[in-house]
Structure 1
């Protein structure tokens, strides 16, 4: 936006006072990891990639987390002075080593025994007894992801692991005046603009398969609090379209839908809204578009100015009291904006990869087989941002995507009935955190709001 007034935080109490209000109390210092976790069933997850150790016909490989469907669960127990991890799908078969490779072996084998020691921040090492050889992820070749096969080698970051309980204990959700932003789950509409009600969003044949079938105003009234929007640049500014705005009739401008949200917040002062922008516009165009939204600066929340990275996410009650109730994210690259000379966070739009983690967006084509695994959207040859990413004092918000390539009504209805189950069995342990945003197509089908209600009864430590 062109002026400080447009997107500056409302500061009637002064910037320092506002920061103090929105800064949650510093979390208690992390307790040292237990010397060895208690006996039980675990996922063995790389602390670097977030992927899970799986028995692959005798080899041990890191795979996308897939709950109980891919030989990824291991029962930890003491065996003599060491420990073994027995695969729950193959009795008597334990995670072990053969030369420099991880293998499954008979649990009584000396090469199936491990010394387990804490490596800080709830991480552990698995060491061969009597040798400086550790279960590890193989180094990443240039231009590729880490190899699937797990290795036995030198200590270091690649040899650190989370032992994530298959059935993690939970505790009740704190009272409303104490719960923090990252403890709450919000119903989120994927491609919220692609609804066929507010205006056109794609060429005619794609318009036949809208991601939603209710307009933004109705979505707000129905309890949707997260909105995923695709932005494309035209001579008219930032326009909401799918893939391209060519041949789209009556497309909606970004500022129009944001104005709907800001007006809703003005009328409902206890509510909080988040917008995720799949962003294909120049930063100057986006800034000008946001400048058109009346009252945006009055409700904009700036986590970059309120100590979140040092102290964690603030209490929802404090955000509401400060009237900071609209959070804007972009999936655009900070590096690209720096090259252009204008970063989006300079006018209040946060770079999503700095503040969230997010699983890969598709569960399949829309018909036929499903992929229920939960792995990072941002894990490839160039980027390693696992779902398990944390920083001292800070846990990213978790965006859980639960939709397909195409929105088929019958499939969306069935998928949305399984949302809570996928969150509990697949995505929650994969990310080691509870979803903050549950993003679905056709939120009106299959009652995904019920899954949100269930998730909002507890916190996942």
Structure 2
């Protein structure tokens, strides 16, 4: 398909310029459908450490629990789970010295309920919601014997023992955290941490130690203070720890505390903490920890001081932006200047044969090469004019990745792309691409401004010496 002259391109794009495609349009809602495919669509290829979870501080301390202490939440644990909370912070005590374990606030003088009641609530939620994963953090003051006995008895009696996560099943200290969809398929959907002793086997699962698996920031910031900075909490490894000490490959989970335990009554400050300040704190902690938080812990999770921003929406935004797509013809690993497909067998995007008139050439796929020759090199660069946030994808010879003109009609899926001189005077959507990071920037997909289609490897020709690189549907959830 020959390219038009500058006049034709300019006229076409005055008629067919498309708006910037926001990520929210390309990603579906985060509500969980049912069935085996649902875990793939909800979590994609994300590992447990690559997802973010709304977390409630002192989850048991709700306003209707009858304690004289000021509450930290206004809903019961059951209501919190139904409202989208997926991680709970519980304080466990043994007021009687031999059980039952109770959930208390500050000391064993102010207790709310038996821990087994909360655990049964969680198990029942998991039974009704087979795609969901719930994490529990225990700030524990009970003995190891009493706590493990109560948990064992309750899980066995409720049929919930099968849900308890077993770190040895996945070899996390060498292999890192499992993918969430695998945890769902294996029914390993109840993750429990405790801060009192080393990892403890419990039936077929594990009570994991908080400080050998997670990092945290400080939660207090003074009476009438405002949350800022991201200092590391005592007992925690530095927030930017990449691999937990003593392991070969375990990425620490990052808990970002966004509440003030210095205040006697946390309710008045919760709206302020959960709105604008929360978004700011996430950005600050992202810079310090060099990653997004896995657990965003707040008081009164439903309230905020800013319309459109809640703890739930903030967590959803993190999961939308960091969503990890499974291997897909439209998802590419960018290794230096080499674009490597996530499907096929070691296939890279290559500048292929030149057209007979010397005007440009085809874009193909071949086996990746090391060192990377010029014909395999591509870079995303800003155009010489205002591309409104879009990029050229430039070949090693300085030309641009281009969608065929197709007589002015946006071509469909399967259209082979080509390399062509970059337009420096006229805005040409066929040469502009929205660069969408995936997997925390370890891979990408690229959306053409004109057609709304994605740069993709053609699976049908992936075994050919010079297969096709085409535009196709963007990865879907």
State the TM-score, normalized to the length of structure 2: 0.53
Instruction: Spell out the pairing of 1:68-107 with structure 2 (5 A cutoff).
Output: none
C-alpha contact 1:423 1:435 (8 A) present in aligned 2 = no
In structure 1, the gaps of 5 or more residues are 1-170, 335-342
Could you list the runs of 5+ residues in structure 2 that have no partner in the other structure? Answer: 1-25, 29-39, 305-309, 323-439, 442-477
CA drift at 1:172: 8.8
Distance of 1:312 and 1:444 partners within structure 2: 33
Structure 1 residue 237 and structure 2 residue 84: aligned?
A: no
Matched, 1:188 2:46: no
* Candidates 257, 264, 269, aligned match of 2:118: 257
Q: 2:191 aligns with which of 291, 316, 327?
A: 327
Task: Work out which of the residue numbers 275, 288, 298 in structure 2 matches 1:417.
Answer: 275
CA distance in 2, matches of 1:196, 1:420: 23
Q: Of residues 166, 170, 174 in structure 2, which corresponds to 1:306?
A: 170
Report the 3-state secondary structure (helix = DSSP H, G, I; strand = E; otherwise coil) of the residue aligned with 2:101. strand
1:387 matches 2:239: yes
d(CA) in 2 for partners of 1:232, 1:384: 22
How far apart are 1:269 and its partner, in Å? 0.3
Which residue is 1:457 aligned to? 320
Residue number in structure 2 paired with 1:376: 232
Task: Give, in angstroms, the shift of residue 390 of structure 1.
Answer: 2.1
TM-score, normalised via structure 1 length: 0.55
Please say if 1:358 is aligned against 2:221: no
Native 8 Å contact 1:412 1:445 kept in 2: yes
Corresponding residue for residue 139 of structure 2: 278
Specify the alignment match of 2:89 in structure 1.
Answer: 228
- 308 and 210 in structure 1: CA distance in 2 versus 1, 3 angstrom threshold: same
* 1:197-230: CA deviation from partner (whole Å, max 9, x where unpaired): 3x345xx2x2xx2000100110011000000000
**Structure 1 CA distance, aligned partners of 2:254 and 2:169?**
21
2:290 to 432, 448, 454: 432
- Change in 2 beyond 3 A, CA 1:303/1:200: farther
* Mapping for residues 14-93 of structure 1, pairs under 5 Å: none
Q: Report the secondary structure of 2:71's partner residue.
A: coil
Q: Which has the higher contact order (CA 8 A, sep 6+)?
A: 1
2:431 paired residue number: none
Tell me, in whole angstroms, the C-alpha distance in 2 between the residues paired with 1:315 and 1:326. 14
Secondary structure of the 2:269 match is helix
**Aligned residue in 1 for 2:421:** none
> Cα gap change, 1:363/1:172 in structure 2, threshold over 3 Å: closer, same or farther?
farther
**Contact 1:345–1:351 (CA under 8 A) maintained in structure 2:** no
2 CA distance for matches of 1:424 and 1:416? 11
Inter-CA distance 351–453: structure 2 relative to 1 (3 Å threshold): same
Q: Is the 8 A contact 1:301 1:325 kept in 2?
A: yes
Q: d(CA) in 1 for partners of 2:192 and 2:279?
A: 29
2:79 partner SS: helix
Change (3 A) 1:314 1:275: same
Match of 1:296 in 2: 160
Q: 2:317 matched to 1:317?
A: no
Q: Give the match's secondary structure for 1:415.
A: helix
**Inter-partner Cα distance in structure 2 for 1:270 and 1:329:** 21
Post-superposition offset of 1:181: 1.2
Residue of structure 2 equivalent to 1:344: 200
Segments of 4+ in structure 1 off by > 6 A?
A: 171-174
SS in 2 for 1:274: strand
Deviation at 1:408, TM superposition (A): 3.3
C-alpha change, 1:279 and 1:384, in structure 2 (3 Å) is closer
Asked if the contact 1:275–1:327 (Cα under 8 Å) also holds between the matched residues in 2, the reply is: yes
State whether residues 165 and 188 of structure 2, in contact with CA within 8 Å, keep that contact through their aligned partners in structure 1: yes
Please give the secondary structure, in 1, of the residue aligned with 2:91. strand
Q: Which residue of 1 aligns with 2:466?
A: none
Q: Deviations over 1:150-194 (max 9, x none)?
A: xxxxxxxxxxxxxxxxxxxxx999963312111111000000000
Q: Per the alignment, do residues 423 and 302 of structure 1 end up closer, same or farther by CA in structure 2, a change over 3 Å counting?
A: farther
- Partners of 2:136 and 2:253 in 1: CA distance: 13
Partner of 1:115: none
Question: What is the DSSP-based 3-state SS (H/G/I as helix, E as strand, rest coil) of the residue aligned with 1:349?
Answer: strand
